[in-house]
Amino acid sequence: MAHLDRLRAEVGRPDRLGKSLPPGILHFGPGAFHRVHQAWFVDKLLADDGRWTICGVSLRSPEVRDALAPQDGLYTLAILDQHTSYEVVGSLREILVAPEDPENVLTRLAAPTTRVVTITVTEKGYCLDAAGELDTTHADIQRDLRLPHLPTSLIGYLVEGLRRRRAEGTEPLTVISCDNLIDNGARLARAVGQLAELREPGLAHWIEDHTSFPRTMVDSITPATTDELRARVKSVLGMEDRWPVQRESFVQWVLEDRLAVGGPDWASAGVTLTDDVAGYDHAKLRLLNGAHSSLAYLGLLAGHETVAEAMRDERLCSLITAMMKEDVRPTLRAPRGLDLNAYIDAILQRFRNPAIRHALAQIACDGSQKLPIRLLGTIRDNLEAGRSIERLCVPVAGWMHFVRRQAARGERVTDPLAERLFALGRACQNRSKLDVPAFLGLDTVFPASLVQNATFTNTVAQAYDELAVEG
């Protein structure tokens, strides 16, 4: 990767304007999604402003650092579509491994040149309890309270770094959670404030006044790196890349326009700035995620394995398309800047992408948690508006059959309610009169307002019996 001048003309190459400048962005969790998403957007900034290179921080493993350090932080991004394209991304200036050198991480956090912190550590990295508050009994949080100047957790690092910025009179900071947490910015701000208050009276108030925690939404399907990808990249580049990454061509970053002054010009890199991230999130949950879950259960029932394969089933494709356009879209209020019709068309095109092998079985996991937010809310809104729920109830019945069929094979579904669903599925008779009431008895999945609604229960039962003939 040291010989960028040898790359073929069709391979995109980075602009290294910022190579001699200290990084202006610190990122916790430099895994695959960060490298296909936030780092790619930041790479677009470097053509005009060299301040915005990234210092990546791994809170646990040295793997990414060890792979990319010999490559000067460069790596290849393969963009998968009808035709795969390749580009080398150059925004990662350095990668630190926090347990090896916590002081260097804190120095970077407190540096006046650091103006933005971004985060992709998955939900568990925030040390939150079931209510979404900071779990003060968590072992890492307990340790950070005992040894605050040698933190272990993400929250501990943020609080200590911000404490140092206060002590040194450093400029305000923008901290951006890019993880799929509901209301991610507000939850992160609350957790940081709670730990700061426990550590030092007054620090939480200073953080609130000098730090911005905007909400954000991110989206792009990112398959894992495989040996096949490594071989393909080596063939295209003519040199080895120890850790290339890949994603679909569609990529979206929606960021709340509540940022500390002095940060990057995000809009110039293609980031959508808005005062209504919740509106974008709502559209994604109901249109993209709702359709994904529907394809998963109905596609598996029809014998398909991937999203693209299911979309080649004309009957399934027609159902999903009509559901999105006629049943889901009327329940949404489009935020400024989002064309719902164009968004639906983009989702359908993404689902058809033959280069993405998105397994239906993977999407089908955790259905008891996904159904309420992806489908049942849409059903409730249509009932209240007096609109049809016939199509929307088909994937609900499909989930019930998915559970039943897995149990009949002696297999447990991947779900927080796995044992209860296994027992329920084993007792099913493939008849709605016996099976559907048992499923509707799952009060953590189906709210009483739906269970007591005859239109809903009858429509689900009808869909269940129609699917039973096929599956």
- Asked whether residue 112 carries a pLDDT value surpassing 80, the answer given is yes
Which residues on neighbouring strands pair with residue 94, listed in sequence order?
55
**Residue whose tokens read 């949950």:** 285
Q: Do residue 32 and residue 103 come from a single domain?
A: yes
Q: Do residue 296 and residue 271 come from a single domain?
A: no
Q: Do residue 304 and residue 236 come from a single domain?
A: no
Q: Do residue 145 and residue 184 come from a single domain?
A: yes
Give residue 47's pLDDT.
84
**The pair of three-digit structure tokens given for residue 60, joined into one six-digit string:** 């646990």
Q: Do residue 196 and residue 266 come from a single domain?
A: yes
From the list 110, 179, 102, the residue with the least C-alpha distance to 140 is 102
Where is pLDDT greater, at 421 or 239? 421
From the list 42, 357, 330, the residue with the least C-alpha distance to 176 is 42
**The pair of three-digit structure tokens given for residue 74, joined into one six-digit string:** 């460069």
User: Residues with Cβ < 8 Å from 279, sequence gap 6 or more?
Assistant: 332, 333, 334, 335, 338
Q: Do residue 8 and residue 101 come from a single domain?
A: yes
Please write the tens of the pLDDT for every residue from 296-327.
Answer: 999 999 999 999 999 999 999 999 999 999 99
- Asked whether residue 11 carries a pLDDT value surpassing 80, the answer given is no
Q: Do residue 167 and residue 265 come from a single domain?
A: yes
Please report, for residues 53, 72, 137, 222, 359, the alpha-carbon distance to residue 362 in angstroms, rounded to integers and kept in the order given. 34, 35, 32, 13, 5
**The pair of three-digit structure tokens given for residue 289, joined into one six-digit string:** 């995620």
Helix (H) or strand (E) holding 57: strand 54-58
Please report, for residues 176, 178, 185, 199, the alpha-carbon distance to residue 277 in angstroms, rounded to integers and kept in the order given. 13, 12, 10, 31
Give residue 9's pLDDT.
62
Q: Do residue 230 and residue 282 come from a single domain?
A: no
Q: Do residue 81 and residue 154 come from a single domain?
A: yes
Domain boundary among 275, 295, 318: 275
Where is pLDDT greater, at 237 or 37? 37
Cα 389 vs. chain centroid, distance in angstroms?
A: 28
- Asked whether residue 17 carries a pLDDT value surpassing 70, the answer given is no
Domain boundary among 230, 251, 275: 275
Please write the tens of the pLDDT for every residue from 145-188.
Answer: 999 999 999 999 999 999 999 999 998 999 999 998 889 999 99
- Asked whether residue 90 carries a pLDDT value surpassing 80, the answer given is yes
Give percent of the chain with pLDDT exceeding 70: 96
Which residues on neighbouring strands pair with residue 96, listed in sequence order?
57
Confidence of residue 238 (pLDDT cuts 50, 70, 90): confident
**CATH number for 123:** 3.40.50.720
Number of structural domains the chain divides into: 2
Give residue 48's pLDDT.
87
**Using alpha carbons only, what angle is made at residue 157 by residues 156 and 163, rounded to the nearest 5 degrees?**
90
Please write the tens of the pLDDT for every residue from 179-232.
Answer: 988 899 999 999 999 999 999 989 999 999 999 999 999 999 999 899 999 999
| Average pLDDT taken over every residue of the chain | 94
Give residue 5's pLDDT.
62
DSSP assignment letter at 179: S
Q: Do residue 269 and residue 287 come from a single domain?
A: no
User: Residues with Cβ < 8 Å from 199, sequence gap 6 or more?
Assistant: 145, 148, 159, 163
Please write the tens of the pLDDT for every residue from 264-287.
Answer: 999 999 999 999 999 999 999 999
- Please compute the mean of the pLDDT values over residues 107-128 and round it to a whole number: 96
Q: What is the dihedral of CA 198, 195, 201, 167, to 10 degrees?
A: 130
**CATH number for 394:** 1.10.1040.10
Where is pLDDT greater, at 73 or 20? 73
The domain containing residue 304 runs over which residues?
278-470
Max intra-chain CA distance, the chain: 70
Is the separation of the CB atoms in 56 and 27 below 8 Å? yes
Q: Do residue 178 and residue 238 come from a single domain?
A: yes
Q: Do residue 229 and residue 316 come from a single domain?
A: no
Domain boundary among 275, 308, 331: 275
Neighbour count for residue 133 (Cβ, 10 Å) = 12
Give residue 13's pLDDT.
64
Give residue 470's pLDDT.
62
**Residue whose tokens read 């935020």:** 335
DSSP assignment letter at 12: B
